[in-house]
């Protein structure tokens, strides 16, 4: 904000006139604003006569709205950065604080113990949990992208009866809270199926990645279908026709031409699905027995530092930070893909 | 190489019939152009040949094979699209070799063929460029190279030059003709630009409202149009049409009568409503009509607007004194207006009274009700030695 007392540029002449009449030049910071008042009366521009600091600021803002927008942008950006990044900062401080000194951490750690990031792996096989989560999230993402692409192709590029009602029906799936599916699904996944016996041993999906991949893919599928439908619909028909005349089937054209050209959309849908599945709590917590060899995900790993008699908060904090790293890498890589996909476009219709 | 046969091809969508019972035979190695106004079904007809659209009824043959239900990739056709349709995520080499890589070819064979195709369309040294780094003409050449690299039986070109600027279009037109001569492949070419149709084709297929109007060599379509639509569509500016009636002593239109023996108009009897058609270049000022062997009687008119085009001047003639210049009436079919084309050195001004004559050998007679062509040239049979015969179009 402009200092209400400092003379403005466009009043430099009046300000210099006013100069000699101000014996107390050093007293310009009076808190009661009296000085400003007297200065205003000394200026002889009649338009400026009754303008207080607020009005002058408003006047300035109307003349230079860009300044206000910039200020608003910085305010909003700083607000979001603080609310999203400060918890990370605090997590880091907690992780660096040695065990036993964990109370009263405000901005700096009480001590310095980077060994917590090693200890994380020594206490429990945390890397195993990370691996499990990574596999589950990757499998779900692949499943969602493949099925979502086929659905997106049909919804985006073909005409068929009841297209819009069907698309809305798909959307309806995402209205239900996951808890609504949980009991029947848990029951289903604990039922033994003969054909699954060679794969899972006892014929149930409980304690296998399938118990998380299947429901999570289904829950995040509608969003992916919507994103992909929009992108696939925008690819000019001519390109698909050209691919088909050149020798692909419809499906071949989808994978060779439409999907590569929709890279930004596919990357967006993929990243959103990956992050959502990787961070998912409900099914991840309930569809395994919590052991890493039973495909328990990251989340169970973090909770494993919580014993009956003690809670290793600094290790939980360190584990949380480690768990974020794969997602952070993915987002950085995918972001490049999104940008390159956008610039490689050059579609001419 | 193959001939293409369409047999009663019909394509109906929910509420429109895009192609209505089109049958034609295209010879091996022939360059046939589908021409017609927007929405006449020419692109849809081509898509049935490509396999991108399945006809509701009828059959399509390429060579001796019935390909009606075959996928586009199995038909041995290659296509060049109006929007060029290069794959923007691939460089020129990958674009040209796309079709070859989908089939089982050796790498060396692919490389050899791509280079040969690039050579034909003069794209050497550009194989590693991306499509967005090229000009419109270069992109179009890549699209043509992509089509010829697979040695297709039939080339389909859907308005390939429509997105190019005028100068490049003329250049590519000659390039395409050269290409056709070199390759000798059957080419089906879709355009709404009749200049392209006239200059490049062996035969023109004129379509309107989904129906085939005429399939004939360009000059036959020009000189002996099968019906009023073809007559009006081929030729720029359009032919003049004057509705009238066949009377005892000739052909009576609203403003003048041309004396003819009515037996030169076969299939019409006195009292029939007929339409006279005459091209602007076959309307002559009396002063300049000495060279005509068979002019009509004088028709008096008044000049309205002159349009100097450089090589010729278009003169809008008003046939009646009280003629109103109606903005909402197409001058080509107004009974009171006649468009004349004269050489630029002709002495003529706006708002001037003139006498014009028509070249009888170039007058076309159509049946008003159906638009069907009845006669081309109304030279009296008695003194007709070398004049064109009144022929039905093929």
Nearest to B85 among A238, A248, A345 (CB): A238
For residue B328, what pLDDT band results from cuts at 50, 70 and 90? low
Q: Which of A31-35, A56-60, A344-348, B141-145 has the lowest mean pLDDT?
A: A344-348
CB contact (8 A) between residue A349 and residue B77: no
Do B44 and B152 fall within a single domain? yes
Q: Within a domain: residue B388? A: no
For residue A6, what pLDDT band results from cuts at 50, 70 and 90? very low
The residue in chain B having the minimum alpha-carbon distance to the alpha carbon of residue A341 is B89
How near does any CA of chain B get to the CA of A259, in Å? 11
Residues with Cβ within 8 Å of B276's Cβ and at least 6 positions away in sequence, in order, are B241, B242, B243, B244, B251, B253, B258, B363, B364, B365, B366
Nearest to A245 among B78, B84, B86 (CB): B78
Q: Which of A42-46, A70-74, A239-243, B301-305 has the lowest mean pLDDT?
A: A42-46
Nearest to A241 among B81, B102, B150 (CB): B81
CB contact (8 A) between residue B131 and residue A346: yes
CATH number of the domain residue B221 falls in? 3.40.50.300
Into how many domains does chain A fold?
Answer: 3
* Residue the block writes with tokens 């997602």: A327
Tokens for A295?
Answer: 């495909």
Do B36 and B169 fall within a single domain? yes
Name every chain B residue with its beta carbon within 8 A of the beta carbon of A248.
73, 102
For residues B186-199, give the mean pLDDT. 89
For residues B159-186, give the mean pLDDT. 86
Reported ipTM exceeds the 0.85 cut: no
Is pLDDT of A19 > 70?
Answer: no
Q: Within a domain: residue B338? A: yes
CB contact (8 A) between residue A246 and residue B150: yes
Domain end point (choices B232, B260, B279): B232
Is pLDDT of B375 > 90?
Answer: no
pLDDT at B59: 92
Is pLDDT of A12 > 50?
Answer: no
Mean pLDDT (chain A) is: 81
Q: What are phi and psi of B323, to 5 degrees?
A: -55, 130
For residues B302-324, give the mean pLDDT. 82
Into how many domains does chain B fold?
Answer: 2
At A209-229, the pLDDT tens digits run 888 899 999 989 998 999 899
Nearest to B83 among A236, A246, A248 (CB): A236
Tokens for A229?
Answer: 């439908």
Distance CA B297, CA B282 (A): 14
* Residue the block writes with tokens 């909770």: A303
Do A72 and A136 fall within a single domain? no
At A313-323, the pLDDT tens digits run 889 999 999 99
Nearest to A348 among B72, B84, B156 (CB): B84
For residues B290-299, give the mean pLDDT. 82
Helix (H, G, I), strand (E, B) or coil at A278: helix
Q: What are phi and psi of B139, to 5 degrees?
A: -60, -40
Do A158 and A79 fall within a single domain? no
For residues B212-235, give the mean pLDDT. 91
Distance CA A300, CA A297 (A): 6
CB contact (8 A) between residue B89 and residue A344: yes
Do A305 and A185 fall within a single domain? yes
Domain end point (choices B232, B253, B284): B232
Contact assessment for residue B167 and residue B137, using Cβ atoms and an 8 Å cutoff: no
Q: Within a domain: residue A2? A: no
Do A200 and A339 fall within a single domain? yes
Range of the structural domain that residue A90 is part of: 66-114
Q: Which of A108-117, A152-161, A339-348 has the lowest mean pLDDT?
A: A339-348
The residue in chain B having the minimum alpha-carbon distance to the alpha carbon of residue A260 is B89
A251 part of contact set with chain B, CB < 8 Å: no
Q: Within a domain: residue B389? A: no
The residue in chain A having the minimum alpha-carbon distance to the alpha carbon of residue B75 is A245
pLDDT at A81: 92
Looking at chain B, the whole-number percentage of residues with pLDDT higher than 90 is 25
More confident residue, B32 or A33: B32
More confident residue, A47 or B268: B268
Do A244 and A303 fall within a single domain? yes
Do A172 and A212 fall within a single domain? yes
Tokens for A159?
Answer: 């005409």
CB contact (8 A) between residue A245 and residue B52: yes
- Best mean pLDDT range from A97-101, A144-148, B289-293: A144-148
For residues B219-226, give the mean pLDDT. 92
* Residue the block writes with tokens 């010829």: B148
More confident residue, A51 or A74: A74
Distance CA B118, CA B376 (A): 47
Contact assessment for residue B81 and residue B143, using Cβ atoms and an 8 Å cutoff: yes
Q: Within a domain: residue A4? A: no
| Residue of B43, B49, B72 best to disrupt the A interface, most CBs of A under 10 A | B72
Name every chain B residue with its beta carbon within 8 A of the beta carbon of A260.
89
Contact assessment for residue B377 and residue B387, using Cβ atoms and an 8 Å cutoff: yes
pLDDT at A197: 80
For residue B368, what pLDDT band results from cuts at 50, 70 and 90? confident
| Residue of A158, A240, A246, A266 best to disrupt the B interface, most CBs of B under 10 A | A246
Do B15 and B147 fall within a single domain? yes
Helix (H, G, I), strand (E, B) or coil at B18: strand
Is pLDDT of A22 > 80?
Answer: no
pLDDT at A152: 93
Name every chain B residue with its beta carbon within 8 A of the beta carbon of A266.
none
CB contact (8 A) between residue B130 and residue A346: yes
At B93-105, the pLDDT tens digits run 999 999 998 888 8
Range of the structural domain that residue B132 is part of: 4-232
A348 part of contact set with chain B, CB < 8 Å: yes
Is pLDDT of A182 > 90?
Answer: no
Q: Within a domain: residue B386? A: no
Do A182 and A76 fall within a single domain? no
Do B224 and B254 fall within a single domain? no
Q: Within a domain: residue A164? A: yes
Do A230 and A320 fall within a single domain? yes
**Other CB atoms within 10 Å distance of the CB of residue B66:** 13
pLDDT at A59: 85
Do A190 and A235 fall within a single domain? yes
pLDDT at A47: 53
For residue B108, what pLDDT band results from cuts at 50, 70 and 90? very high
pLDDT at B326: 55
For residues B227-243, give the mean pLDDT. 89
How near does any CA of chain B get to the CA of A181, in Å? 42
Among candidate residues B61, B21, B15, B71, the one with its CA nearest the CA of residue B41: B21
């Amino acid at each position: 904000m402009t200092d209400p007392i400092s003379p403005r540029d466009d009043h430099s002449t009046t300000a210099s006139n006013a100069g000699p009449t101000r014996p107390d030049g050093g007293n310009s910071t009076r808190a009661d604003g009296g000085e400003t008042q007297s200065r205003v009366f000394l200026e002889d521009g009649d338009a400026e006569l009754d303008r207080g600091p607020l009005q002058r600021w408003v006047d300035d803002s109307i003349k230079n709205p860009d300044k206000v927008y910039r200020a608003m942008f910085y305010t909003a950006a700083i607000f979001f950065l603080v609310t999203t990044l400060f918890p990370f900062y605090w997590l880091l401080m907690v992780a660096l604080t040695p065990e036993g000194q964990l109370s009263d951490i405000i901005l700096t750690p009480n001590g310095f113990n980077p060994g917590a990031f090693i200890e994380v792996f020594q206490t429990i096989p945390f890397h195993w949990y990370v691996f499990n989560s990574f596999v589950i999230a990757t499998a779900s993402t692949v499943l969602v992208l493949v099925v979502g692409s086929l659905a997106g192709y049909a919804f985006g590029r073909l005409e068929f009866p009841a297209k819009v009602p069907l698309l809305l029906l798909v959307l309806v799936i995402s209205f239900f809270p996951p808890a609504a599916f949980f009991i029947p699904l848990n029951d289903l996944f604990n039922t033994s199926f003969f054909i699954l016996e060679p794969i899972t041993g006892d014929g149930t999906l409980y304690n296998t990645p399938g118990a998380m991949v299947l429901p999570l893919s289904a829950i995040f599928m509608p969003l992916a279908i919507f994103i992909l439908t929009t992108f696939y619909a925008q690819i000019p028909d001519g390109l698909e026709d050209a691919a088909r005349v050149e020798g692909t089937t419809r499906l071949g054209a989808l994978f060779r031409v439409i999907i590569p050209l929709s890279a930004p959309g596919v990357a967006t849908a993929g990243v959103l699905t990956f992050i959502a599945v990787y961070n998912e709590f409900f099914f991840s917590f309930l569809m395994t027995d919590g052991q890493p060899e039973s495909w328990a995900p990251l989340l169970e790993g973090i909770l494993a530092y919580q014993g009956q008699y003690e809670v290793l908060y600094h290790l939980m904090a360190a584990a949380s930070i480690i768990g974020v790293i794969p997602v952070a890498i993915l987002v950085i890589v995918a972001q490049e893909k999104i940008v390159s996909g956008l610039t490689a476009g050059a579609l001419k219709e | 190489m193959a001939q293409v046969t369409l047999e009663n091809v019909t394509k109906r969508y929910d509420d429109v019939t895009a192609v209505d019972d089109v049958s034609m035979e295209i010879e091996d190695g022939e360059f046939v152009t589908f021409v017609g106004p927007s929405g006449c079904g020419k692109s849809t007809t081509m898509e049935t040949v490509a396999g991108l659209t399945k006809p509701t009824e009828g059959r399509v043959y390429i060579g001796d094979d019935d390909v009606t239900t075959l996928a586009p990739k199995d038909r041995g056709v290659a296509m060049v699209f109006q929007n060029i349709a290069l794959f923007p995520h691939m460089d020129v080499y990958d674009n040209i070799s796309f079709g070859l890589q989908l089939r089982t070819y050796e790498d060396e064979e692919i490389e050899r063929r791509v280079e040969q195709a690039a050579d034909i369309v003069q794209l050497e040294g550009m194989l590693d460029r991306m499509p967005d780094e090229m000009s419109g003409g270069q992109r179009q050449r890549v699209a043509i190279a992509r089509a010829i690299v697979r040695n297709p039986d039939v080339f389909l070109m859907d308005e390939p030059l429509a997105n190019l600027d005028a100068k490049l279009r003329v250049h590519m037109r000659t390039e395409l003709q050269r290409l056709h001569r070199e390759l000798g492949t059957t080419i089906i070419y879709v355009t709404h630009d009749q200049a392209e149709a006239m200059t490049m084709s062996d035969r023109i297929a004129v379509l309107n409202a989904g129906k085939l109007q005429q399939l004939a060599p360009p000059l036959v379509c020009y000189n002996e149009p099968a019906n009023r639509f073809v007559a009006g569509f081929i030729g720029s500016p359009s032919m003049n049409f004057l509705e009238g009636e066949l009377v005892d002593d000739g052909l009576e239109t609203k403003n003048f009568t041309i004396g003819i023996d009515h037996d030169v108009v076969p299939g019409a009897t006195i009292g029939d409503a007929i339409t006279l058609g005459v091209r602007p270049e076959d309307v002559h000022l009396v002063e300049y009509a000495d060279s005509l062997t068979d002019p009509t009687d004088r028709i008096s008119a008044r000049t309205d607007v002159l349009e100097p085009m450089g090589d010729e001047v278009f003169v809008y003639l008003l046939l009646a004194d009280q003629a109103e210049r109606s903005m909402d009436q197409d001058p080509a079919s107004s009974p009171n207006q006649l468009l004349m084309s004269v050489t630029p050195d002709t002495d003529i001004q706006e708002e001037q009274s003139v006498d014009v004559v028509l070249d009888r050998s170039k007058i076309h007679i159509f049946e008003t009700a159906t638009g069907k062509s009845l006669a081309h040239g109304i030279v009296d049979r008695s003194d007709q030695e070398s004049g064109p015969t009144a022929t039905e179009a093929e």
